[in-house]
């Protein structure tokens, strides 16, 4: 993004099909579906006069206002919130079939790896077909129920990739052995990964192995990925600093040290997560 000379902020994004579906669904939840243009409509020549684009901008601002006003505190990566519909043949999902359907609703194609990543924690509806026509639709099933997800959050607390500090509520549940291959949806077969490392794993950037203490992460050459080394922090007390040294500038109220430390800790975790090795 950058600021134009006229003082307007220009945003441009290039998203994967599954992320684009999330953004599009969020915008349309506010704007509604775009109306079909009239046959005589030749399109809007000046983008500034495009009313639909203006509605999209208003929707984007409304979403950002929700986050700034505190909505981000309750953001949890769940399938119910994302509402991404993927059509995929079982053979494509398991790798047994090269040709088959695998796309986000709306037409955007997906790789089988992306479909398996989205399918790690999703709501699945089985559709039985004959000669290309559906003849039976099964019940919607939740892959990872909320109680199991809560147990995952308590056990893992963060993304399990070594050195990643993304907290549990911003992670995704990953099947060590995918359910499409017969893997159980159980605590022993699940671990938490942030979206970045989840995508990297399904793209083949690293392997996950079962270990005595849980899971280990290996690079392509077989070496075990370790968290980055940390230098010990030695704090020396300054005799000039006392309980009333740091005071807020509004009315002389004492600074809330616990809140300040929590903000700094969250920022450090985010920085460490982004600085962690890709593989």
- Per-residue pLDDT of 188-203, as tens digits, reads 999 999 888 998 898 8
Q: Give the SS3 label for residue 204.
A: coil
Whether the Cβ atoms of residue 16 and residue 109 lie closer than 8 Å to each other: no
Q: Are 30 and 20 in contact, with CB atoms under 8 Å apart?
A: no
Q: What is the CA radius of gyration of the chain?
A: 24
C-beta of residue 123 within 8 angstroms of C-beta of residue 143: yes
Q: What is the pLDDT of residues 223-236, one digit of tens each?
A: 899 888 777 777 77
Average pLDDT over residues 169-195: 87
* Predicted structure pTM score: 0.55
- Name which residue leads in pLDDT, 25 or 142: 25
Query: How far apart, in whole angstroms, are the C-alpha atoms of residue 107 and residue 111?
Result: 13
* Mean pLDDT lowest among 12-21, 41-50, 82-91, 247-256: 41-50
Task: Name the packing angle between helices 17-31 and 112-119 (round to 10°).
Answer: 60
Could you give the angle at which helices 112-119 and 195-202 cross, rounded to 10 degrees? 140
Q: What tens digit of pLDDT does each residue of 133-152 get?
A: 665 666 566 678 888 889 99
Question: What mean pLDDT do residues 164-183 have?
Answer: 86
Specify the higher pLDDT residue, 90 or 128: 90
- Average confidence (pLDDT) over 62-67: 78
pLDDT at 254 over 80: no
Average pLDDT over residues 93-106: 76
What are the structural domain ranges in the chain? Answer: 2-36+49-72, 79-141
Most confident of 18-22, 58-62, 120-124, 217-221: 217-221
Confidence of residue 155 (pLDDT cuts 50, 70, 90): very high
193 C-beta neighbours (distance < 10 Å), count: 24
Residues 6+ apart with CB under 8 A from 56: 27, 31
């Amino acid at each position: 993004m950058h600021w134009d000379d006229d003082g307007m902020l220009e945003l441009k994004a290039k998203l994967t099909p599954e992320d684009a579906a999330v953004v599009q669904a969020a915008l349309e939840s506010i704007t509604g579906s775009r109306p079909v243009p009239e046959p005589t409509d030749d399109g809007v020549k000046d983008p500034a006069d495009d009313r639909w684009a203006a509605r999209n901008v208003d929707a984007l601002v409304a979403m950002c206002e929700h986050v700034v006003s505190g909505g981000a505190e309750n953001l949890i990566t769940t399938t119910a919130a994302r509402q991404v519909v993927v059509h995929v043949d079982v053979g494509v999902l398991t790798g047994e079939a090269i040709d088959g359907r695998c796309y986000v609703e709306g037409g955007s194609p997906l790789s089988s790896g992306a479909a398996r990543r989205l399918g790690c924690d999703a709501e699945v509806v089985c559709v039985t077909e004959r000669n290309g026509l559906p003849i039976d639709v099964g019940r919607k099933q939740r892959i990872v129920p909320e109680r199991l997800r809560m147990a995952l959050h308590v056990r893992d607390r963060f993304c399990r990739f070594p050195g990643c500090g993304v907290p549990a509520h911003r992670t995704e549940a990953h099947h060590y052995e995918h359910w499409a291959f017969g893997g159980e949806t159980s605590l022993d077969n699940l671990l938490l990964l942030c979206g970045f490392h989840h995508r990297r794993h399904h793209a083949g950037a690293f392997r996950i192995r079962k270990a005595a203490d849980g899971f280990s992460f290996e690079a392509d050459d077989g070496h075990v990925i370790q968290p980055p080394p940390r230098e010990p922090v030695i704090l020396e007390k300054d005799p000039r600093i006392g309980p009333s040294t740091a005071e807020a500038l509004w009315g002389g109220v004492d600074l809330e040290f616990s809140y300040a430390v929590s903000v700094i800790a969250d920022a450090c975790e985010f920085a460490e997560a982004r600085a962690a090795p890709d593989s």
